[in-house]
Structure 1
Amino acid sequence: MDARLDHLVCWVSDQLAALHFYEQVVGLPGVRGEEFREGKAGFPSVRISAETIIDLMAQDVSNGVEEGTGVTGSAGHQINHFCLSVSREDFDALQVRLKDHGTAITGTGSNSFGAQGIAPETIYFPDLDGNVIEVRYYR
């Protein structure tokens, strides 16, 4: 099987604040932001790659998501973290943006194994709702 990650769903308390954080601090382009502001979309997203997005879902709609998945109790549980891989230049620029926006780097790592092998450096930081993001680069 040749599978690819399509999307992640992060529970957020303020969808517009989360969209701003992911756009301005993390540096990911927004998807359906205007449609969401106009009431034409139920949630905004941000694009990780051409094939993958993060949906920014309001916590108060978890019942509807559970109904959609068909698995009671499956929605609303946070994951430990998710990881983005970027270029070394983007990794360095992200650290500057985090500092400029007052977002603390809560953890670091070196020689960490991931989907593309060993990453020389990784950083961890929370979004506005405590979802932990790891960002790394590969050589």
Structure 2
Amino acid sequence: MDVRLDHLVCWVSDQLDSLHFYEQVIGLPGVRAEAFREGKAAFPSVRVSAETILDLMAYDASMGVDEGTGVKGSAGHPINHFCLAVGKEDFDELQVRLKRHGVEITGSGVNSFGAQGIAPETMFFPDPDGNVLEVRYYE
């Protein structure tokens, strides 16, 4: 079976703030960002890779977050974190951008196991809604 991750949905309180964070701080290109800003798309996304995006969905408990999935009690549950793998140069540049934007690196690690083997360095930090990101690089 050939399986790829298509998308993740992140619940966010302010879609424009989150879009800015993922575009300007993390450096991911927006998908349907202008259409969202113009009111022509319900939510923006950011591209992680050619095959994977993050959807930035507004969390509103009054709207019934289960409606989209049809599975009662399942939508909106938090995850521990998600991880993005980048090159070493991008990893170093991201650390500078995080500091410039006042985003605290809340954790780090060395020789951490992941999908591509052992990563020499890894760092953790929250997005504006407290979703935890891990970013790492492989040699």
Show CA shifts across 1:42-97 (max 9, x none): 00000000000000000017845522211011111111000000000000000000
Q: Work out the CA distance in 2 between the residues paired with 1:61 and 1:95.
A: 34
Q: Deviations over 1:11-39 (max 9, x none)?
A: 00000000000001011001111111111
* Runs (5+) with no aligned partner, structure 2: none
- In 2, Cα distance between equivalents of 1:51 and 1:78: 23
TM-score by length of 2: 0.96
Structure 2 residue 137 is the aligned partner of structure 1 residue 137: yes
The structure with the greater share of residues assigned to helix is 1
Across the two proteins, how many residue pairs are aligned to each other?
139
Residues 21, 127 of structure 1: 8 Å contact kept? yes
Kindly report structure 1 stretches of 4+ aligned residues shifted beyond 6 Å. none
- The 3-state SS of whatever aligns with 1:68 is coil
Distance 2:61 2:89 in 1: 37
Q: Which residue of 2 aligns with 1:12?
A: 12
Gaps of 5+ in 1: none
Between stretches 31-40 and 121-130, larger displacement belongs to: 31-40
Task: Give runs of aligned pairs for residues 54-133 of structure 1, distance below 5 A.
Answer: 54-60=54-60, 63=63, 65-133=65-133
Cα RMSD (Å): 1.2
How far apart in 1 are the matches of 2:61 and 2:51? 25
- Any idea what the Cα deviations from partners look like across 1:99-121, whole Å, max 9, x if unmatched? 00000000000100000000000
- DSSP 3-state at the match of 2:54: strand
Give, as a single letter, the amino acid of the residue that structure 2 aligns with 1:67.
Answer: E
Q: Give me the identity figure in percent.
A: 79
CA contact (8 A) 2:87 2:137 kept: yes
Q: Are the aligned partners of 2:59 and 2:65 in contact in 1 as well (CA < 8 Å)?
A: no
TM-score (norm 1): 0.96
